């Protein structure tokens, strides 16, 4: 029996066919938090990728979906055994997809390309960046868009390191980071972009330092560029009301666009969340289940106007455009394909002359102006930090001043 810190052990695993061999078999484990699909890899950690692929394939083939990031647990001490005798358990939390075969989940390639010598990282910077991105995906469950942003920013940093002759992570110093930031300013990047890229580099190097791959974070002593204090721009409620009411056509495209804009403004969804909507997402009690950033679920109420517009679209708009390849996508284009975020941005720009996030800003601003409390707006928007939502309070100060002068006897 091999114990681990979760309190589980191999004896409580239920084998899926055959006896346990310690290499490649798939098990399910019932823990307090749910069901885990588990496999044991026997051998060097660097060769763990095939076991991960086999595990995700089994999850898909048996009608389950991955419900969270994976865990890796050493079942014996990697410091005291030779790599060939190392046992590593890899497991994913899973949930059933109604007994039906689920879409193949995203395969997370956990094959590491770190090489250590005397505790320090001696591999190339490109390898270090790739491994960090894999870990962001697997451990933190960040959205693909966020991972892509990290990839671009750290890719720029790695390119500049190569030009300076800095090829290994342990060769990066404070001067390297300073020169990177200076280069961004020379290339006339906005202050917001410079601050974001600096934050990505600081997080990357800080993670390496915490894991003991470098002695210290060389970016910690470099002043962090300040983001400009720009406020979210919202559209006046009366203006939005007039624009939406003017969309009265009965053409399938008109019905789709009216429903799409009503839902976007009426729920404050991100454009990626709107594009991912499926048939039946709006349930019988008029709540929309949304999976947002970091695979976090939230429930958002849907107003009467958005529900009515969606019902008209589903009755007479979508059937006229849908094709077999539409699947269960709620929003479809004129050729029957699923509308992607780019297509939605085009519709918003064409119909309202703005961008989708402006409707999200308007949603939050109008809620606060109507008296909603900050915590409720944070939950509706899916913000992790309350400070992010507090940006909208500055937009509503004039409204609050007017309310105060109208309501307080000493105003």
Give catalytic residues, as residue numbers. Answer: 270, 293, 357, 360, 383, 392
CB neighbour burial string for 294-310, b if at least 16 within 10 angstroms, e if fewer: eeeeeebebeebbbebb
Residues 45 and 47: their CA atoms lie apart, in Å, by 5
Q: If we measure between CA atoms, which residue out of 48, 38, 47 comes closest to residue 6? A: 38
SS3 content of the chain, % helix, strand, coil (to 5): 50, 15, 35
Residues 116 and 128: their CA atoms lie apart, in Å, by 12
Residues 37 and 91: their CA atoms lie apart, in Å, by 5
The first and second tokens of residue 362, run together, are: 């308007």
Q: What is the DSSP letter of 332?
A: B
The first and second tokens of residue 195, run together, are: 């601050």
Q: DSSP string of 76-90?
A: S-TTTS-GGG-EEEE
Phi, psi (deg, nearest 5) at residue 39: -140, 155
11 CB contacts (<8 Å, ≥6 apart)? Answer: 1
7 CB contacts (<8 Å, ≥6 apart)? Answer: none
| Angle between helical axes of 237-245 and 252-267 (0-180°, round to 10) | 160
Q: If we measure between CA atoms, which residue out of 281, 262, 152 comes closest to residue 204? A: 152
Q: DSSP string of 240-288?
A: HHHHHHT----SHHHHHHHHHHHHHHHH---HHHHHT-BTT-B-TTSEE
| Angle between helical axes of 374-381 and 356-369 (0-180°, round to 10) | 160
Q: If we measure between CA atoms, which residue out of 45, 209, 69, 73 comes closest to residue 135? A: 69
Residues 266 and 251: their CA atoms lie apart, in Å, by 22
Phi, psi (deg, nearest 5) at residue 73: -130, 120
């Amino acid at each position: 029996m091999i114990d681990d810190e979760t309190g589980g052990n191999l004896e409580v695993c239920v084998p899926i066919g055959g006896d346990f061999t310690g290499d490649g078999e798939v098990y399910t484990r019932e823990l307090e938090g749910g069901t885990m699909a588990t496999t044991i890899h026997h051998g060097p950690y660097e060769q763990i990728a095939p076991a991960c692929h086999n595990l995700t394939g089994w999850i898909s083939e048996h009608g389950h979906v991955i419900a969270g990031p994976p865990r890796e647990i050493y079942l014996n001490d990697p410091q005291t055994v030779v790599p060939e005798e190392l046992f590593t358990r890899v497991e994913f939390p899973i949930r059933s997809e109604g007994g039906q075969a689920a879409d193949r989940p995203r395969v997370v390639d956990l094959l590491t390309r770190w090489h250590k010598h005397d505790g320090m990282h001696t591999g190339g910077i490109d390898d270090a960046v790739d491994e960090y991105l894999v870990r962001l995906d697997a451990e933190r469950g960040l959205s693909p868009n966020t991972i892509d942003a990290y990839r671009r920013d750290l890719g720029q940093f790695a390119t500049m390191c190569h030009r300076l002759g800095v090829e290994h992570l342990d060769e990066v110093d404070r001067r390297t980071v300073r020169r990177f930031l200076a280069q961004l300013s020379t290339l006339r990047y906005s202050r917001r972009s410079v601050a974001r890229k600096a934050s990505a580099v600081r997080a990357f190097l800080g993670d390496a330092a915490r894991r003991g791959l470098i002695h210290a974070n060389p970016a910690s002593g470099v002043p962090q560029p300040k983001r400009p204090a720009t406020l979210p721009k919202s559209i006046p409620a009366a203006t939005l009301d007039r624009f939406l009411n003017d969309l009265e056509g009965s053409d399938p495209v008109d019905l789709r666009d009216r429903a799409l804009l009503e839902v976007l403004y009426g729920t404050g969804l991100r454009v990626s969340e709107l594009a991912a909507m499926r048939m039946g997402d709006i349930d019988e009690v008029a709540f929309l289940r949304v999976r947002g950033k970091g695979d976090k679920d939230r429930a958002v109420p849907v107003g009467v106007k958005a529900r009515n517009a969606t019902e008209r679209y589903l009755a007479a708009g979508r059937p006229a455009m849908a094709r077999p390849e539409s699947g269960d996508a709620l929003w479809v284009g004129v050729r029957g394909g699923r509308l992607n975020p780019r297509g939605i941005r085009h519709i918003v720009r064409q119909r309202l002359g703005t961008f989708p996030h402006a409707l999200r800003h308007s949603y939050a601003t109008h809620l606060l102006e109507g008296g909603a409390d900050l915590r409720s707006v944070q939950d509706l928007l899916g913000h992790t930090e309350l400070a992010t939502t507090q940006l909208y309070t500055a937009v509503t100060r004039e409204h609050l001043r007017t309310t105060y002068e109208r309501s307080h006897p000493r105003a």
